[in-house]
Chains A and B, each alone.
Chain A
Amino acid sequence: MAIMNRPFIIDGVEFQSRLIVGTGKYASFEENKRAVIASGAECVTVAVRRVNILDHASENLLDYIDPKIYKILPNTAGCYTAEEAIRTARLARSAGITNWVKLEVIGDPKTLLPDNEATLEATRVLVKEGFVVFPYVSDDPIMAKKLQDAGAAVVMPLAAPIGSGLGIRNPYNIELILEAVSIPVIVDAGVGTASDAAVAMELGCDGILMNTAIAGAQNPIQMAEAMNYGVKAGRMAYLSGRMPKKRYAQASSPIEGMIE
């Protein structure tokens, strides 16, 4: 029996694409824009940084990624404490585009693994202030449940460390998270190529966020399109309900009617 599709809705916004893409590490705004188009993504994450007042560029990322067309998801990348992340989120909101925030509180510069405790604390504060919070978190079902209870709009477990491209290292934990929470589960970080995206979607994840897998490919625009297909293929396969695995062969052709 096929599995029921659940539309991808966050804070009342329904997305057709289950892929969310980043905007880091591209050679140019133009390349970034073409990759976003090829990916089919409708939601794009951006970082919050100081304006360089000594050498202020005339062009801005948002001249290329139009907030009227794409849902912009500001992130708190680079924050190491709950306080820093909360301050960054408030500034991002005051830019007047959105009250959504991809909350990242990093615990360690070497692994870029999340500080789950600080992430939970910041989630509680930001939810109270009316933010729609997308917390980046370890692939830990207990923490995912706590984030849901704290009012997170989605949970974003990592598949592998940020920028590692190692793929889905612990599919069993991702499945446990899917069982533990009712809010959307979006795999964030670790995807390296289109098959990784398909694997995450076949597990039943609601969506995937990626940046380096696209921006770090030799041909980012073509990889963006591959990811578009990978996510769609994985989702369709999940909804189709895969065949059971067997240890021995089973012929597809009938035995009757063989020539003698």
Chain B
Amino acid sequence: MGGAMQIEVNSVKKELLLDTTLQELLTQLNIVPERVAVELNLTIINRNQFDQVLLKEGDRLEIINFVGGGRGPRRS
């Protein structure tokens, strides 16, 4: 098909080709899957399913990792 769609990753809008998988998106973003956790439309996706999840127009993704932090306020 070759069409495009728009999704949101960590509140940043992103254009993707249709039928892009979550795994392919992570590769495009240069993200190592072993170091992150992903929520798609508020549902956690297991890592072993990253290559099976097809992203759709309007999907909202949260991609998190572990960073330095003892405790306290949200980092700006």
Residues on A lying within 8 angstroms of B by beta carbon are 21-26, 29, 32, 45-54, 56, 58, 60-62, 72, 74-75, 77-78, 87, 90-92, 94-97, 102, 104, 106, 109, 112, 136, 162-163, 188-189, 209-212, 215
Contacts and interface: CB of A to CB of B under 8 A. Distances in A.
B32 to A, nearest CB: 8
Q: How large is the interface on B (under 10, 10 to 19, 20 to 34, 35 or more residues)?
A: 20 to 34
A230 to B, nearest CB: 17
Interface string B8-47: 0110101000000000000001111011111100001111
Nearest to A21: B70
Given A94-B37, A95-B36, A109-B73, A51 B65 contact: yes
Contacts of A54: 12
Nearest to A52: B10
Interface of B: 9-10, 12, 14, 29-32, 34-39, 44-47, 62-75
Given A49-B64, A49-B75, A91-B62, A75 B69 contact: yes
Nearest to A214: B70
28 contacts: A21-B70, A23-B68, A29-B68, A46-B66, A46-B67, A46-B68, A47-B67, A48-B64, A49-B64, A51-B10, A51-B29, A58-B30, A60-B66, A77-B71, A91-B37, A91-B64, A92-B37, A92-B66, A94-B37, A94-B38, A94-B46, A95-B64, A96-B47, A106-B72, A106-B73, A112-B71, A210-B70, A211-B70
Interface centre among B29, B32, B35, B44 (most CB of A within 10 A): B35
Contact of A22 (B64, B69, B75): B69
Nearest to B36: A51
